[in-house]
Structures are given as C-alpha cells and as structure tokens.
C-alpha cells in the first residue's frame, strides 16, 4: 500500500481530520507535514518522507467520504502519473479536482518546479482525473481560510495556469465560485475571494512571478486584509 501524507497549515479542524484519517486507513503508513510555508515546499517535504514509489496527499480540510478506500494498485508503468480524485465544494456544489485526494509520484514530486502557480500539474506531464468523489473540501472554517482558498483557485482558473483547462468548463467554474447564492458558513468570504482571485489571475496571467505569489501564505494573508477593508464581506452576501 502507498504511504499517505496529511498536509496542514494552521487549519482549525486539522487535528480532527487527521485522527479521522488514521481510523480510515489503518493499514497505510500515515505521516503529517505541518506548517511548511509554501504549498510546493510542503509537498516536496512529504515526498522526502515517503517510503513508497507513490504517495497519497490528503489536505487538512478534507472530510473523507466513507466510500473512499486508499487501496489503488498501479502497474509500475503508471507510477509517473499524477492521479487526482474529485471533491465536493460545500459552498457552491462544484465537483472536480479542487481539494481532492491526490496520488503523486514520489521522485517526480521531489524534483518539481516549485515556482509554478499550480502544484499538481507541475509534477508530471502525465495526469489522470479519477471520477470517483473522494471527499468534501471543508475550506470554509474561518474567514481567512475561506477567502484564501477561493482566491487561489479562481486565480489559477482565470490565468489558465492549470494544464488541460477547457474554456467553457473554466468559465462555468469561475461563474459558480463568484455568483452562487449559498448561505453556507462564510460563503460571503468565498465569493469575495473568488472575485479578487479572478481579477488577479486575469491581470497577471502572463506574469509567472506574480502568479507564483498565490502559494505564499503570508502574502495571501496581507491580500485578504487589504481586500476586506476595501470591499467589506457584507457586500458579497
């Protein structure tokens, strides 16, 4: 069985989700990567600690569905493919790879381009989306986490930074992030972050250095503070 890396960065429910993961996958080696600044660097650290050719990545905000099993068996010829399962967005209902459980090639992850805007598609030219839904991505636990998650995803969508994007699909996802009528917890921060992220991704789509900033947690927190001062959350209710 492949190892599982649980990657967290100050998420409020991370310990609860980690304990649930330990119960969910008792036969896999599970380890936790905590508070590494930068998403790419956190995944490189996970690859360093993996003892298998591939390793799963579970984000700290993932509520794993009871039906999901960490038991995929790959042929060695498939061990250079990035596998991504689908996830449910609790605010807008979208189901796609955002926040889904991933299975990554260990050696390729160690050597990925840490300056690329989208971590997952920078690891290998071979990429596979698995239609099964693995989890609910419960990113709406506090204002900052909610805004930050929406900003990052919509910046990537708007800048076309994700390999293999389809224009009509991207437009639908952006519109759903921005204009949904959800009344779920912190949904106004999600819509605000989505609006800011779309603007940022569109504005800096040809500036790799600027786009790389969306993976810097300190920078994101500063953007959050500026944005909610200029555009109070109630304007997105």
Render pLDDT for 39-98 as a digit per residue (tens, 0 to 9).
Answer: 899 999 999 999 999 999 999 999 999 999 999 999 999 999 999 999 999 999 999 999
- This prediction has a pTM of 0.92
- Predicted pLDDT of residue 233: 83
Percent of the chain at pLDDT > 70 equals 100
Q: Which CATH number is correct for 3-137, 3.20.20.70, 3.30.360.10, 3.40.1280.10, 3.90.550.10?
A: 3.90.550.10
Break the chain into its structural domains and give their ranges: 3-137, 143-236
Q: What is the CB neighbour count within 10 angstroms for residue 192?
A: 27
Is residue 189 pLDDT above 80, yes or no?
yes
Number of neighbours of residue 37 by Cβ within 10 angstroms:
11
The pLDDT value given to residue 136: 97
Q: Which residues contact 19 (CB under 8 A, 6 or more apart)?
A: none
Give me the sign of the Cα torsion angle 154, 160, 162, 166: positive
Q: What is the per-residue pLDDT across 138-185, written as a single tens digit (0 to 9) for each?
A: 999 999 999 999 999 999 999 988 777 889 999 999 999 999 999 999
């Amino acid at each position: 069985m492949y190892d599982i890396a649980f990657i967290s960065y100050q998420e409020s429910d991370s310990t609860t989700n980690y304990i649930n993961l330990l119960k969910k996958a008792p036969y896999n080696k599970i380890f936790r990567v905590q508070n590494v600044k930068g998403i790419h660097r956190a995944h490189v650290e996970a690859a360093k600690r993996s003892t298998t050719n591939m390793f799963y990545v579970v984000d700290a905000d993932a509520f794993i569905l009871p039906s999901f099993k960490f038991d995929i068996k790959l042929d060695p010829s498939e061990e250079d493919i990035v596998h991504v399962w689908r996830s449910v967005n609790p605010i807008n209902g979208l189901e796609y790879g955002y926040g889904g459980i991933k299975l990554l090639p260990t050696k390729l992850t160690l050597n990925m381009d840490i300056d690329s805007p989208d971590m997952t598609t920078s690891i290998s030219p071979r990429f596979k989306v698995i239609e099964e839904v693995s989890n609910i991505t419960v990113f709406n636990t506090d204002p900052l986490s909610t805004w930050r998650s929406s900003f990052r995803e919509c910046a990537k969508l708007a800048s076309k930074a994700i390999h293999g994007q389809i224009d009509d699909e991207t437009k639908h996802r952006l519109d759903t992030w921005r204009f949904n009528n959800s009344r779920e917890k912190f949904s106004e921060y999600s819509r605000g972050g989505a609006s800011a992220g779309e603007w940022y991704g569109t504005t800096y789509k040809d500036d790799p250095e600027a786009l790389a900033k969306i993976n810097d947690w300190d920078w994101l927190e500063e953007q959050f503070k500026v944005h909610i001062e200029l555009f109070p959350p109630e304007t997105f209710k």
